[in-house]
Amino acid sequence: MPLGPNTLREMLHTMQTIRRFEERASADYHAGKIYGVVHCYIGEEAIAVGVCGALRDGDQIISTHRGHGHCIAKGADLDRMMAELYGRRDGYCKGKGGSMHIADFEKGMLGANGIVAGGISIVTGAALAAKLDGKGGVAVSFFGDGASAAGPIHECMNIAAAWKLPIIYVCENNQYAAQTPASTTIARQGEIVHRAAGYGIPGVAIDGNDIFAVHAAAEEAVARARAGEGPTLIEARTYRWRAHTERAGQPDYRPKDEIEGWKSPDRDPIARLVAHLKRDGHLTDAEFEAMDRQVLDAIERSCAFAEKSPFPAPDDALDDVFAA
């Protein structure tokens, strides 16, 4: 189904929210308000938003260590996300998970995951549950080119193909596993899509920075999954603008001109969608500025919410080890 202007503006709003949320998370990380590691998704926003735009509320996704974008795209609450990054009691995980463990089970977001490739089999299990449930639910596994080299993706694509599970494997190929170029460590010059043929499932490589291409591929894969025809592998080629992780003083080994090239308006997924909407007369500069202000206000409110929330009480450390 072609995307109408209202839907596209909503998608743009979500993409801009992801970007602004992470710009703030990065700034607050360097300001010492957020600890540990923050992995930014900036530059890859079209994938999470395009795929989740093809899903229903009851569908389930799993994310990676780079998980803020998937959370926001699946409808997670910004206040509780930011409070979690701040390590506060009102965060999604009561301040005990942090950036790499944000989950919202009510929204079907089964969690970011701190282990590369660690989520793939979990969400394949959600697909098995959906199939046994028989109500047409589907599951999406987001993973990176780094995880494509680990065992779980092979184990799970094999099972999902053999059992025709309703799942879409979405490889966000940003071309680097941390600092290591995929082209030097992943067979076939770093292209992952070819794996699909080995399992006899459809595989499609798309421009991950083109929201239309992402959404169209996801819709087709979701329709197949809902119809009981099994999994699809989507390789969405993209690039992350920021370093592997926000960590002061760590060099980014990627070529400067390569990084800058991916930020140009003809490659930036947000600029491309803005240009499309403007060209068709569905968005003005003023409207986009207003949208951006709205987004920034929401981020500001989430930070205020986080600041106001208390740190966890010492006794909280002992809660939630076991379910009663």
Instruction: Point out which residues bind other proteins (CB under 8 A).
Output: 60, 62, 91-97, 101, 103-105, 110-111, 114-115, 118, 120-130, 132-133, 139, 151-152, 155-156, 158-159, 162, 319-324
Closest separation between CB of residue 166 and other proteins, Å?
A: 12
- Cα 285 → chain centroid: 27
Residue whose CB is less far from other proteins, 1 or 323? 323
Tell me the three state secondary structure of residue 104.
strand
Residue whose CB is less far from other proteins, 32 or 314? 314
Closest separation between CB of residue 44 and other proteins, Å?
A: 24
Distance CA 256, CA 167 (A): 37
DSSP secondary structure letter of residue 119: T
Closest separation between CB of residue 322 and other proteins, Å?
A: 5
DSSP secondary structure letter of residue 249: T
Residue whose CB is less far from other proteins, 129 or 223? 129
Q: Are strands 176-177 and 180-181 parallel, antiparallel or unpaired?
A: antiparallel
Residue whose CB is less far from other proteins, 114 or 136? 114
Distance CA 175, CA 223 (A): 28
Residue whose CB is less far from other proteins, 252 or 320? 320
Residue whose CB is less far from other proteins, 200 or 265? 200
In single-letter form, the type of residue at position 290 comes to A
Q: Decide: residue 255, CB within 10 A, 0-12 exposed, 13-18 middle, 19+ buried.
A: exposed
Closest separation between CB of residue 139 and other proteins, Å?
A: 8
Closest separation between CB of residue 137 and other proteins, Å?
A: 9
Distance CA 137, CA 59 (A): 5
Residue whose CB is less far from other proteins, 117 or 186? 117
Residue whose CB is less far from other proteins, 62 or 213? 62
Closest separation between CB of residue 193 and other proteins, Å?
A: 21
Q: How far, in Å, are 38, 186, 235, 242, 274 from residue 26 at the CA level? A: 7, 30, 27, 10, 24
Residue whose CB is less far from other proteins, 50 or 125? 125
Closest separation between CB of residue 156 and other proteins, Å?
A: 5
DSSP secondary structure letter of residue 118: T
Please, what is the angle between helix 78-85 and helix 285-308, to 10°? 50
Region of 2 on the Ramachandran plot (φ > 0 left; ψ -120 to 50 alpha; else beta):
beta
Closest separation between CB of residue 186 and other proteins, Å?
A: 20
Residue 39's closest CA among 174, 189, 171? 174
Cα Rg of the chain (Å, integer): 19
In single-letter form, the type of residue at position 319 comes to D
144 strand-pairing partners: 172
Closest separation between CB of residue 74 and other proteins, Å?
A: 14
173 strand-pairing partners: 237
